[in-house]
Structure 1
Amino acid sequence: MTSTNHHDTPRVQMTPDQWRQRLTDQEFKVLREAATEAPFTGEYTSTTTEGVYRCRACGAELFRSTEKFESHCGWPSFFSPLAEDRVRYITDTSLPGMPRTEVRCAACDSHLGHVFSGEGYDTPTDLRYCINSVCLTLEPTGR
């Protein structure tokens, strides 16, 4: 089922059972239960292919390859989303003494990863969107 939020981003709403039918076990654990894939194991960690990264759960466009950079952290890193209305942020206090900012898909509310600031990367925003590969699909451009 799809509805619209206040940013006019189409919203995808499904029951947990519907998500389980649509996603693999690993995709469900990360996207719907906020787990994390192991570092340096994801298919997009070192990818340099030009294109658009979409939410694996709902297909929403989230990031562009032009904002992807090598951070050597073990997960794909981006310095900004495609547009601010494509993601939403939640304060994550699941690790004691280490509050983080969780990044979710604005369209389907799937967990994507976390965003960190002030790490000193040479990027225009000084932000690192640390995103699980399993949360993304890459649609190559310029073929």
Structure 2
Amino acid sequence: MKKILLIILTVFIANCTSYGQKKKKVQRTYKIEKTNAEWKKALTPKQYYVLREAGTERPFSSPLNKNYKKGTYVCAACETPLYKSENKFDSGTGWPSFDQGITKNLELDVDYKIGYARTELKCNTCGGHLGHAFNDGPRETTGQRHCINGVALKFIPKG
């Protein structure tokens, strides 16, 4: 009897988990849309991996991580302005970090790729994956940390 009850409970839990995680994602359209072949032609392999496949670059691999010049960080795929240099800070994580972005140019989505919900940040113009948002940023400003893949950004110096 205990075995049957254990089997029924296991099947029930497995079904609840699989149905709960298979939510149908709404496909949205962006101002700039290209085929995968067009994106592969326009981007480097690392940029394609991060921006189009939601990959993550190795920590401490981006020269933008330690860039503290004045200017604007734009999407590497479509050059939409995303972050201002005055909002950048050294989080010690190995990725460029910002306490806020240019809100109208960022899309927030939910990502379950590692088993739990995270706030994914995307470019609102082309849908490119940028990184994730966390609530462990500087308390004296927003408390947010936008942890961004440097390869997803291009820096435009001020002036």
**1:51 counterpart = 2:68:** no
- 2:152 maps to what in 1? 135
Give matches, 1:118-129, under 5 Å. 119=136, 121-129=138-146
- 2:10 maps to what in 1? none
Structure 1: runs of 5+ lacking an equivalent: none
Whole-Å separation in 2 of the counterparts to 1:33 and 1:68: 25
The superposition leaves residues 80-132 of structure 1 with CA deviations (integer Å, 9 ceiling, x where unpaired) of 112x1100011111112x32100000000000000001x25244110000000
Task: Return the structure number with greater helix share.
Answer: 2
CA-atom RMSD in angstroms: 1.5
Whole-Å separation in 1 of the counterparts to 2:96 and 2:46: 17
Structure 1 runs (4+) greater than 4 angstroms displaced: none
- Between the two structures, name the one with larger relative contact order (CA 8 Å, sep ≥ 6): 1
- Corresponding letter in the other structure for 1:139: I
Q: Percent identity?
A: 37
Whole-Å separation in 2 of the counterparts to 1:120 and 1:105: 21
> How many positions carry a matched residue from both structures?
131
So what's the TM-score if we normalise by structure 1?
Answer: 0.87
- Compare CA radii of gyration and give the structure with the larger one: 2
Q: Check 1:42–1:123 CA distance in 2 against 1; reply closer, same or farther (3 A cut).
A: farther
So what's the TM-score if we normalise by structure 2?
Answer: 0.79
Q: Is the 8 A contact 1:79 1:123 kept in 2?
A: no
Give matches, 1:1-143, under 5 Å. 11-82=31-102, 84-96=103-115, 98-117=116-135, 119=136, 121-142=138-159
The superposition leaves residues 55-97 of structure 1 with CA deviations (integer Å, 9 ceiling, x where unpaired) of 0000100000000011101100001112x1100011111112x
- Corresponding letter in the other structure for 2:110: T
